[in-house]
């Protein structure tokens, strides 16, 4: 799994609430133009729980077509049974995925051994590198450090943990994981520099301010920590605003990206509907962040 900032795409719908092919293509192209390390789709930001099985397969095909082998390509594997997830794995393999992110099923709350077995059976059906999305605050369940250790010993292709964790927790995972295992974080990039200080290998971020994340990590890896911090702080008000909840991310984060990239947003019900005061705040953030992707030299204008 390549170190860096990867973009996890939003789902764009048309006025009739069906998936918008042109908007999805434009989103992917804009993210590639922002020099992201990879593209992924079908995560929480992609509103995967609102998509039918057939729509998930269609999105895989669209995104694979748009990326066209130019970057690493990951798909979140979502499903309520081993059979459903394996069917998604097979389609992801055929589409050209280079890695997979496994989400726990939503079928209920069970003992850790049940989730370890579930993930293990899915991982055992593919040779692709696999991550697990460990986000109990969003998904209602997660794996402990010990659970992660068990899965690592059993499955060599379990190579990445996708956390949604504060910097100190991500650093603990990094220490626990060892050098041959990667720790990627999300949370919109909150605490990015502290996460990098703690050893995080990368981030999986929705597109709204992913160009700032790319530049911040580039500077950090070039040894320019202060400049990286300054770039991250430019984006921090927007990150803080959109990351109040997953629903807030989908409603306002998608609109933030769309306004920067010249796209229209149509919600698929049920959805958090935008409010006038929040849209006014969003307009200020759009003005400050600028067009997507922002020209590198524009990142250093005085605050």
Q: Got the DSSP string for 47-103?
A: TGGGS-HHHHHHHHHHHHHHHTTSS-EEEEE--SSHHHHHHHHHHHHHHT-SEEEE-
Average pLDDT over residues 171-196: 90
The pLDDT value recorded for residue 34 is 97
Locate 266 and state its tokens.
């149509």
Average pLDDT over residues 164-171: 86
The rounded distance, in Å, linking the Cα atoms of 37 and 88 is 23
Average pLDDT over residues 176-204: 92
The rounded distance, in Å, linking the Cα atoms of 94 and 105 is 23
Q: How many CB atoms lie within 10 A of CB 37?
A: 19
Average pLDDT over residues 207-215: 98
Task: Share the mean pLDDT of the chain.
Answer: 93
Tell whether the model's pLDDT for residue 1 goes beyond 80: no
Average pLDDT over residues 222-242: 97
Of 105-119, 189-203, 212-226, 233-247, the poorest mean pLDDT is in 105-119
Q: Is 15 helix (H, G, I), strand (E, B) or coil?
A: coil
Average pLDDT over residues 260-285: 98
Tell whether the model's pLDDT for residue 238 goes beyond 80: yes
CA angle 131, 76, 211 (to 5 degrees): 90
Q: Which residue has the higher pLDDT, 268 or 172?
A: 268
DSSP 42: S
Q: Which residue has the higher pLDDT, 27 or 147?
A: 27
DSSP 250: I
Locate 290 and state its tokens.
């600028």
Tell whether the model's pLDDT for residue 165 goes beyond 50: yes
Average pLDDT over residues 7-23: 98
Nearest Cα to Cα of residue 185 among 120, 239, 233, 125: 239
pLDDT band at 298 (very low <50, low <70, confident <90, very high): low
Nearest Cα to Cα of residue 44 among 206, 183, 208: 206
Q: Are 102 and 123 in contact (CB under 8 A)?
A: yes
Phi, psi (5° rounding) for residue 264? Answer: -100, 150
What's the domain count of the chain? 1
Of 35-39, 45-49, 150-154, the poorest mean pLDDT is in 150-154
Locate 64 and state its tokens.
């694979």
Residue 105, domain extent: 4-300
Chain position carrying tokens 């929040």: 278
Average pLDDT over residues 274-293: 97
CATH of the domain at 188: 3.20.20.70
Q: Is 18 helix (H, G, I), strand (E, B) or coil?
A: coil
- Dihedral sign for Cα 194, 46, 149, 5, please: negative
Share of the chain above pLDDT 90, in %: 81
Average pLDDT over residues 35-47: 97
């Amino acid at each position: 799994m390549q170190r860096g900032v990867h973009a996890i795409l939003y789902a764009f719908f048309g006025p009739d609430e069906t998936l918008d092919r042109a908007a999805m293509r434009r989103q992917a192209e804009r993210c590639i133009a922002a020099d992201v390390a990879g593209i992924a789709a079908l995560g929480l930001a992609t509103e995967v729980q609102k998509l039918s099985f057939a729509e998930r397969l269609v999105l895989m095909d669209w995104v694979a077509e748009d990326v066209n082998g130019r970057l690493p390509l990951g798909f979140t594997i979502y499903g309520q049974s081993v059979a459903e997830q394996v069917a998604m794995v097979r389609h992801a393999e055929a589409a050209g995925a280079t890695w997979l992110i496994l989400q726990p099923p939503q079928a209920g709350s069970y003992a850790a051994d049940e989730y370890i077995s579930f993930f293990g059976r899915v991982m055992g059906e593919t040779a692709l590198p696999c991550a697990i999305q460990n986000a109990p605050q969003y998904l209602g369940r997660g794996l402990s450090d010990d659970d992660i250790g068990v899965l690592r010993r059993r499955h060599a292709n379990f190579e990445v943990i996708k956390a949604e964790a504060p910097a100190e927790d991500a650093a603990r995972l990094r220490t626990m994981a060892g050098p041959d295992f990667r720790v990627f974080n999300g949370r919109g990039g909150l605490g990015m520099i502290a996460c990098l200080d703690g050893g995080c290998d990368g981030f999986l971020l929705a597109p709204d301010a992913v160009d700032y994340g790319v530049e911040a990590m580039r500077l950090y890896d070039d040894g320019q920590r202060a400049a990286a911090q300054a770039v991250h702080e430019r984006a921090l008000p927007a990150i803080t605003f959109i990351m109040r909840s997953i629903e807030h991310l989908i409603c306002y984060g998608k609109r933030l990206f769309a306004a920067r990239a010249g796209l229209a947003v149509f919600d698929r019900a049920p959805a958090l509907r935008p409010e006038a005061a929040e849209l006014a705040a969003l307009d200020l953030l759009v003005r400050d962040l600028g067009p997507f992707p922002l020209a590198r030299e524009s990142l250093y204008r005085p605050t």
